Structure 1
Amino acid sequence: MLQVLAGYCTTRFGAKWFLAVAMTVNSLACMAIPYMAAKFQSEGVMACRVIQGLSQGFFYPSVHSLLGQWAPTSERSQLGTFVYSGAPFGTIISLPLTGLISASDWGWPMSFYLCAVIGLLWVVWWCFAGYNNPSHHPFISTEERFYIESSLGHLTHETLPTPWKGMFTSMPMWAIVIANFGQCWGYTTLLTEIPNYLHAIIGYDVKSNSLVSAAPYAAYWIISLAIGPISDFLINRRIVSTGTGRKIFNSIGVCGPALALAVLSYIPDHEDLLSVMVLVFAVGINGAVSCGYQVNHIDISPNFSGILMGITNGSSNIFSIIAPLVVQVIVIDESDKSQWRIIFLIASVMYVLSALFFNLFASGEIQEWNQPKPKEIKADKFRNFDNYMVKEKNGVNAKKIEEEKV
């Protein structure tokens, strides 16, 4: 529910300051962890983590709201993947770096202080450099502003009524929800349970090797960045439609890991290197979803993409809890490979079913409920760039006349 609220607030009031406050709270809670651990032991750490989790509930809806205002249609895949590639890239850097810091004379608390300071520095930079939309940016050129806003198909920045009924009766929206369900289940299995499997079955401890732990995230980062330009190229050249492109890359991103999980469950116990390579491939190819369902919110409703992200991502997080619980029920003996096989096959089926649903009902077209009805539109709509420039020029001239009068 918090992510839905975050999506509503960022859509109605703009995402800039919500994102700044959320990152500030997250960073301060991170900085407090060493003190809280020393003062209150595990309870103190858990309190900090709860605060961090609550603040992070604003991250994805805020970012999606900003992308809905700033990402031109022709560059949507590239910008979306570039923005969200920051998460795996941060993991790639932090895993080995925190290991080195913890092993040094500075000790493990310095890892938390460093991450907190980086977060706070970003907040300072964001307060000066971040803007809710092109019309609020003081230095953007008129041409660039027109290019972005006209490509999105909405030039009004009036506060629009949220079309709740339209959203919840929209099959393209539900296609994103189901795709997110399958992704959460499978991704949780990949990153939390496979390392346990490798340790219990073949005696390979991925978690103790920070470089190996970072390898799946590195593969995800590289593949997501590479696929973004390919997706935009295919769509912009009209080789495939936007909807078809989203379905293709979403299918690659979820069916690849589904196949890898099925294969992993049958790999001989002594093939530890092969098992790790399959893990890296599974997580890496999953990066293709960044050009699939993950950016599809903006395709169908750029005006309400933050709310859609809050609904879809917030509701799907329940599967990040359910998936580990299912493991606890089924895997009674961690050394029994047949029990792990059931877990991997369940995750594979979840991946495939979510992909099928997405392929059947997803769309790449802006939905009717994204726009207000004609009688509700209060802002001017510019049919072409010449009219847009005339409006801009008249506005500037009027401002000058008022200043001269004063």
Structure 2
Amino acid sequence: MNAVSKIEGDVANIEAEALEKPVVVTAPVQSEPEIQVPRQRKGRLALMVAVPLALIVGGGYVWITGGRYQETENANLRQARVSIASEAAGRIVSVNVSDNAAVKEGQVLFTVDPEPYRIALAQADAALAAARLDVEQLRAAYSQALAQERVTAGDVAYLKTQFERSTELASKGISAKSSLDEARHDLAKAEDEHTAAVQGIASARAALGGDPDIETDKHPAVLSALATRDKAAYALAQSTVRAPADGVVSQASSFKVGQFVGAGTPVFSLVETGDTWIEANFKETQLTHMKPGQEAEITLDTYPDRPLKATVEAIGAGTGAEFSLLPAQNATGNWVKVTQRIPVRLKVDTQGLPVALRTGMSATVSVDTGVSRGLSGLLPHAYAAD
């Protein structure tokens, strides 16, 4: 019994130890199969590398060779606008234009009542004729003064002889002293009359402008009358208002016959179609190589399929902010750098243009500066130093 019990106890201990220790089962190790990349996947990988590389190379080429053409959409077509006014005040008697009508240079636009100006011209003509007549009278007065001087000079010579004779007779006691005094008085009177005649000649010569042989129409009084007459004729001519240039009438819808206009008061506008330019606002960074005389291409939003040729005429004296009503003055530390725009004026070639241009049209401008970025565009500091 004791041996059996001992064996059972050993078996129980072995089973307890087996339960306490985990059993590790080792499986046979198998080698992983080699992964083979399909050819299609390799092609995709090459394409993913080649496309970005091509984009980088192409973009670099475009950047290096670009920058020659500077473009902006901030541009408008401009035409000269003239305010039409009459220099003659009066009531309108005829109107020969309408709103948005095309006119030619010299065409009659409207007429102010000319009768008051015709009357003024007639008065000026009469005054001119009177001035010419006055000059002829002054010339006759000068001749008369000369004749009077000759008469008085003869009287002085005669009375001087008489006075000498009376003096000689009185010294011999032949004539009375009263006769000598009378001769002396007559001589003094004749001399005074001669002096007055000489002054009369000087006065008549001065009235003729200092030149007795002066032409009638060169006399100061006649010149003044001529100027008054020319002024009256000019005022009469200004009663008919003509177009100063080829263009289109604007803002004339309320301009009618019978309306009274004052001298110099604008009544409507004329947009000159013969003076056309583009005002383009380029960024300041686009003006590095831009200068007057360079060629440009204009594309109007109205006629996108009809590009126009233009030439850079002038570059503005300052940015738009500098000429604004209230220029920005930043005196604080809250400053943000903003790229400014500078106006550039371009002369448009409109010869033979089959389309109508109107001021204010939006446009896109591309200026050929003739200078590409090159490698200097990638080296800003070295480029700035050059």
- Tell whether the structures are fold-level matches, with TM greater than 0.5: no
Specify the structure having the higher radius of gyration (Cα).
Answer: 2
Q: Which has the higher strand share?
A: 2
Shorter-chain TM band? under 0.3
User: Normalising by the residue count of structure 1, what TM-score does the alignment of the two structures yield?
Assistant: 0.19
